[in-house]
Amino acid sequence: MVRRLFFRLAAILTVFLLATNLIACTPASLVDFSAGEVYQQKSPSSDGIGKVYMGREIAKVMGHEAAYWLERSSRRWEEQPDQAIDALELQPTDIVADIGAGTGFFSFRISPFVPDGKVLAVDVQPEMLGMMDQVIEQDHIVNVETVQGSPTDPNLPEAIDLALMVDAYHEFDYPKEIMQRLVSALKPGGQVVMAEYRGENPFIPIKRLHKMSQRQVKREMQAVGLVWRKTEEFLPLQHLMFFEKPYEVEGRLPK
Ligand SMILES: C[S@@+](CC[C@H](N)C(=O)[O-])C[C@H]1O[C@@H](n2cnc3c(N)ncnc32)[C@H](O)[C@@H]1O
């Protein structure tokens, strides 16, 4: 009993330390602050870039220097990625875009589920793409392709069945532009799935701007024509939110 309590406290403390110290954010040097009225400017918070979208300050990009944090061994039980992937109900032929793929923590776990499809692993940081390319080469993985995204465009080379964003969307410098392009690349009926640390829960030890509330995510997805389908709450720390590109708005999505 005491042993179990000890391990639980140690786990909570580890997550807290990782969240406060190790999510070292580099300045979002990719940002061009000449955006129009879609975005507003404020003085930056410690974990933000001072750019506001739909009432939310955008978080700093997690620098590639902290890539090891994405690959920490405790992540499997802290975040239960395998359960999240099960919930995607992937089909073998699916084309999946992992937007903000980082080191490919999700991309490489998804690839066995889409043997006749592929994973497009998109990131803005070339260093992250380089790390994924090494794994692809070493492990002879044939269905994961890295894609250099820009701050405004994921540069998806083909139509996709599903876009996954894990702990990434809140730090997109141009969320509206990225989502508009992503929605254009999504097949009608295709899904956007987002995992974001629960912003409603102050006890989740993650920096404030690196968490999102369900309400805020829904507002921002609705603004680009996506329809909320469900939110799964079985993950320990994150909302897993499912949105769909409806068939009926194809060709007349909001610009
Ligand atoms: C916190 S990491 C999460 C990585 C990965 N999804 C995971 O869960 O392990 C966020 C990633 O999003 C990437 N990113 C930030 N802005 C982006 C954008 N506009 N387009 C694509 N990737 C972006 C960052 O470079 C970083 O690798």
| Total of domains in the chain | 1
Structural tokens at position 143: 């269905």
Give me the pLDDT at residue 32, please: 44
Q: What pLDDT score does 24 carry?
A: 34
Asked, for residue 16, whether it belongs to a domain, the answer is no
Which uninterrupted H or E stretch holds 161?
strand 160-166
Q: Decide if 93 contacts 50 (C-beta within 8 A).
A: no
| Paired strand residues for 191 | 162, 244
Distance (angstroms) between ligand 1 centre and the Cα of 101 equals 5
Ligand 1 centroid distance, CA of 57 (Å) = 17
What is the residue whose two structure tokens read 């300050």? 57
Between the CA of 92 and the centroid of ligand 1 the distance, in Å, is: 25
Q: Is the CB of 185 inside a 6 Å radius of any atom of ligand 1? A: no
Confidence of residue 96 (pLDDT cuts 50, 70, 90): very high
The average confidence (pLDDT) of the chain is 88
Whether 81 is in a domain gets the answer yes
Query: CA-CA distance, 147 to 157, in Å (whole number)?
Result: 8
Cα 253 to chain center, whole Å?
22
Show Cβ contacts of residue 163 under 8 Å, excluding neighbours closer than 6 positions: 96, 97, 99, 182, 185, 186, 190, 191, 192, 193
User: Ligand 1: distance of its center to the CA of 4 in Å?
Assistant: 34
- Per residue in 97-126, pLDDT (tens digit) is 999 999 999 999 999 999 999 999 999 999
pLDDT at position 7: 40
Determine how β-strand 56-59 pairs with β-strand 48-53: antiparallel
Q: What is the CATH number of the domain that holds 162?
A: 3.40.50.150
pLDDT, average across residues 160-181: 98
Q: Do the domain assignments include residue 7?
A: no
Please give the Cα distance from 195 to 152 (Å, whole number): 21
Q: Determine if ligand 1 sits within 6 Å of the CB of residue 182.
A: no
Q: Are 98 and 110 in contact (CB under 8 A)?
A: yes
Shortest-distance atom of ligand 1 to CA 173: 19
> Six-digit token pair at 144?
């994961």
Report the distance separating Cα 56 and Cα 23, nearest Å: 20
Which atom of ligand 1 is nearest the CA belonging to 152?
19
Residue nearest to atom 17 of ligand 1 (CA): 172
Q: Does the Cβ of 243 fall within 6 Å of ligand 1?
A: no
Report the percentage of the chain scoring pLDDT > 70.
83
Integer Cα distance of 71 and 158 in angstroms: 28
Q: Does ligand 1 have an atom closer than 6 angstroms to the CB of 61?
A: yes
Q: Which residues sit opposite 192 in a β-bridge?
A: 163, 243
CA distance 83 to 61: 26
Q: How remote is the CA of residue 126 from the centroid of ligand 1, in Å? A: 11
Q: In whole angstroms, what separates CA 120 from the centre of its chain?
A: 13
Residue 247 clears pLDDT 50, i.e. is over it: yes
For residue 236, being part of any structural domain is answered with: yes
Protein residue with its CA nearest to atom 4 in ligand 1? 102
Confidence of residue 151 (pLDDT cuts 50, 70, 90): very high
Residues 172-219: tens digit of each pLDDT: 999 999 999 999 999 999 999 999 999 999 999 999 999 999 999 999
121 in a domain, yes or no? yes
Residue with tokens 């930056």: 44
Q: Measured between alpha carbons, how far is 89 from 70 in angstroms, rounded to an integer?
A: 24
In terms of residues, how long is the chain?
Answer: 255
Per-residue confidence (pLDDT) for residue 143, from 0 to 100: 98
**Residue 232 confidence (pLDDT) above 80:** yes
Lowest mean pLDDT among 8-12, 38-42, 142-146: 8-12
Burial code (b: 16+ CB inside 10 Å, e: under 16) for 171-205 equals bbbbbbbbbbbbbebbeeebbbbbbbbbbeeeebb
Residues of the domain holding 226? 74-244
Residue 57 in any domain: the answer is: no
In a domain, 93, yes or no: yes
With a cut of 60, say whether residue 20 has pLDDT above it. no
Tell whether the model's pLDDT for residue 33 goes beyond 50: no
Q: Confirm or reject: Cβ of 108 under 6 Å from ligand 1.
A: no
3-state DSSP helix/strand/coil % of the chain, to nearest 5: 35, 25, 40
State the pairing for strand pair 186-198/160-166: parallel
- Element containing residue 78 per DSSP (H, E): helix 75-79
Confidence of residue 15 (pLDDT cuts 50, 70, 90): very low
Contact call for residues 115 and 142 (beta carbons, < 8 A): no
| Residue 156: inside a domain | yes
